[in-house]
């Protein structure tokens, strides 16, 4: 059967148009070039083509039209918006911070995919979004995504009152937060459950002044003006004494039914302001004395700081000295005992010191020397962004309350705690 010639011509024209359309589509998607470099086209009817009823032919756009179409995708606005949206979705629902990534830092979450940062996962029992109980599921994808996409993005320090912004490159942000002068710490009295305060380190001085739950010893060079090169300034030494109950009350040596605590003694020196050392003294009901030296630094940052404690009096040549690495505030008493990082004496060793002192309420004299590696202190202050030109917030707080801080002395105030222990000032 012979096919009509007109119909054959129409089919040929339609196929040619269809093939031309395919060629234009393939140019935009398969030539490997970016949309900006590929000719942008639009489909319009060709008035000079006799096949005016056929599909429109592709015609290149002018340069101005191309530029107007490319602005939305190439000015970076959409990318920034996308990153901002992703940061919001990656935030920990407890502290509203993007979880930190770096060496030794893992990101956890619940089984439904809700992320939790390293600082919050240990503080809660269930996911705050879906109430899922299993919240220790490690999220490797989130770790790698944050490390790849946000490592160069400056993020604000997570601690209230700190305006430092650093990227997570080379752990710069996490190293700062470890030593930030506004980092969150507990009151030194929390070890004996006498105070539940927890807040910025820069506010601890104000808390000490208001609540009087600790005592303070300033080193001999506190008011000395110098460049910090003196070894006595680099290795500050603190001296004080410990008191017994008033003469009208039963002596601490006769108390066999309670544990006796003395208020924590904070050691303040200009060269170790950001270290924040303090001493805890306790006598148990069997006459066993323990002396522990702590710092407000995390556990992994104390290899370069040591403390030397000496117990004695001014009239006796006999004395007891113990040198050890300082404990972190994160370390419990049981952990410290297991590690052996504390000084331990018996009543029989302490009593002779009291007998040789004229003041009946003074048990003994003691000194504490803090030995910190100067290079470590320099690096720590650098990471904390504490510079000489910028006053340390701790130093500023101390200067404002210097006359109102309770210094360690021999005055005695007895207090009965809920756990049956006794406190001595």
Tell me the percentage of the chain whose pLDDT exceeds 90: 30
- Residue predicted with more confidence, 148 or 345: 345
Please check the confidence at residue 263 and state whether its pLDDT lies above 90. yes
For domain 188-424, give the fold.
Answer: 2.60.210
DSSP string over 34-87: -TTTSPPEEEE--TTSS-TTSPPEEEEPPHHHHHHHHHHHHSSHHHHHHHHHHH
Q: How confident is the model at residue 9 (pLDDT cuts 50, 70, 90)?
A: low
* Total Cβ atoms within 10 A of residue 313: 20
Is the separation of the CB atoms in 285 and 258 below 8 Å? yes
Q: For residues 341 and 246, give the distance between their C-alpha atoms in angstroms, rounded to a whole number.
A: 31
User: For residue 70, what pLDDT band results from cuts at 50, 70 and 90?
Assistant: very low
Each residue's pLDDT tens digit, 194-235: 899 999 998 999 999 898 999 999 988 887 765 444 545 568
How far apart are the C-alpha atoms of 387 and 394, rounded to whole Å?
Answer: 13
Q: Give the right CATH number for 86-179 from 3.90.420.10, 3.40.50.2020, 3.60.15.10, 3.30.40.10.
A: 3.30.40.10
Q: What is the pLDDT of residue 22?
A: 46
How many CB atoms sit inside 10 A of residue 46's CB?
13
- Residue-wise pLDDT for 276-335, tens only, equals 999 999 999 999 999 999 999 999 899 999 999 999 988 878 899 999 999 999 998 899
pLDDT score, position 15: 56
> Average pLDDT over the chain, rounded to whole?
75
pLDDT of 415 > 60? The answer is no
Residue 290 parent element (H or E): strand 288-295
pLDDT over 50 at 48, yes or no: no
Encoding tokens for residue 217? 């010893």
**What confidence score (pLDDT) does residue 51 get?**
46
User: Residue 255: which of 287, 300, 303 has the closest Cα?
Assistant: 287
Catalogue the E-assigned strands of 155-287. Answer: 155-156, 165-166, 184-186, 198-200, 215-218, 237-243, 260-262, 265-268, 277-283
Helix (H) or strand (E) holding 321: strand 320-325
Does residue 175 have a pLDDT over 60? yes
* Whether the predicted pLDDT of 258 surpasses 80: yes
Given a cut of 80, whether residue 412 has pLDDT beyond it is: no
Domain chopping of the chain, boundaries? 36-69, 86-179, 188-424
pLDDT of residue 13: 56
pLDDT at 358 (0 to 100): 62
* pLDDT at position 217: 92
Q: What is the 3-state secondary structure (H, E, C) of 334-396?
A: HHHHHHCCCEEEEHHHHHHHHHCCCCCCEEEEEEEEEEECHHHHHHHHHHCCCCCCCCCHHHH
Give the mean model confidence (pLDDT) for residues 327-345.
93
Per-residue confidence (pLDDT) for residue 19, from 0 to 100: 52
CB hemisphere CA count around 73 (13 angstroms) = 8
d(CA 99, CA 120): 10
Contact 414, 424 (CB under 8 A): yes
CA-to-CA separations, 108 to 113, 138, 147, in angstroms, rounded: 9, 4, 15
Higher-confidence position of 397 and 380: 380
**What is the average pLDDT across 361-385?**
90
pLDDT beyond 60 at 274 = yes
* pLDDT tens per residue across span 282-297: 999 999 999 999 999 9
CB contact at 8 A, 232 and 400: no
The per-residue pLDDT for 36 is 44
Give the integer Cα–Cα distance in Å for 224 and 234: 13
More confident residue, 138 or 328: 328
Tell me: pLDDT of 44 over 60. Answer: no
CA separation for the pair 288, 286 (Å, rounded): 6
Cα-based distances in Å from 333 to 51, 192, 340, 346: 93, 10, 10, 18
- Give the mean model confidence (pLDDT) for residues 390-399: 54
């Amino acid at each position: 059967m012979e096919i009509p010639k007109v119909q054959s011509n129409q089919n040929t024209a339609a196929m040619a148009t269809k093939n031309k359309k395919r060629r234009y589509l393939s140019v935009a998607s398969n030539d490997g070039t970016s949309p900006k470099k590929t000719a942008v086209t639009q489909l319009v009817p060709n008035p000079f083509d006799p096949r005016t009823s056929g599909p429109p032919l592709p015609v290149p756009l002018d340069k101005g039209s191309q530029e107007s179409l490319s602005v939305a995708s190439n000015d970076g606005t959409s990318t920034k918006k996308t990153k901002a949206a992703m940061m919001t979705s990656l935030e920990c629902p407890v502290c509203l911070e993007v979880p930190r990534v770096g060496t030794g830092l893992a990101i956890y979450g619940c089984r439904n995919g809700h992320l939790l940062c390293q600082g919050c996962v240990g503080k809660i029992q269930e996911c705050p979004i879906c109430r899922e109980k299993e919240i220790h599921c490690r999220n490797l994808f989130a770790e790698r995504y944050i490390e790849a996409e946000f490592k160069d993005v400056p993020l604000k320090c997570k601690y209230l009152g700190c305006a430092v912004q650093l990227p997570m490159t080379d752990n710069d942000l996490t190293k700062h937060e470890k030593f930030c002068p506004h980092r969150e710490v507990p009151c030194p009295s929390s070890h004996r459950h006498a105070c539940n305060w927890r807040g910025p380190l820069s506010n601890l001085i104000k808390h000490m002044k208001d609540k009087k739950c600790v005592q303070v010893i300033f080193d001999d060079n506190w008011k000395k003006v110098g460049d910090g090169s003196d070894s006595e300034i680099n290795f500050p030494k603190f001296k004080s004494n410990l008191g017994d109950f008033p003469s009208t009350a039963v002596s601490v040596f006769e108390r066999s039914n309670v544990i006796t605590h003395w208020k924590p003694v904070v050691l303040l020196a200009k060269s170790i302001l950001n270290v924040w050392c303090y001493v805890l003294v306790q006598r148990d009901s069997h006459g066993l004395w323990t002396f522990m030296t702590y710092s407000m630094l995390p556990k992994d940052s104390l290899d370069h700081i040591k403390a030397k404690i000496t117990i004695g009096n001014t009239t006796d040549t006999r004395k007891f000295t113990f040198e050890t690495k300082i404990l972190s505030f994160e370390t419990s008493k049981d952990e410290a005992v297991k590690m052996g990082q504390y000084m331990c004496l018996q009543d029989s060793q302490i009593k002779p010191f009291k007998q040789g002192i004229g003041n009946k309420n003074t048990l003994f004299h003691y000194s504490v020397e803090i030995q910190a590696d100067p290079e470590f202190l320099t690096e720590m202050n650098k990471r904390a962004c504490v510079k000489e030109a910028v006053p340390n917030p701790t130093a500023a707080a101390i200067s404002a309350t210097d006359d109102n801080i309770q210094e360690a002395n021999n005055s005695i105030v007895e207090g009965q705690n809920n756990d049956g222990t006794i406190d001595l000032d």
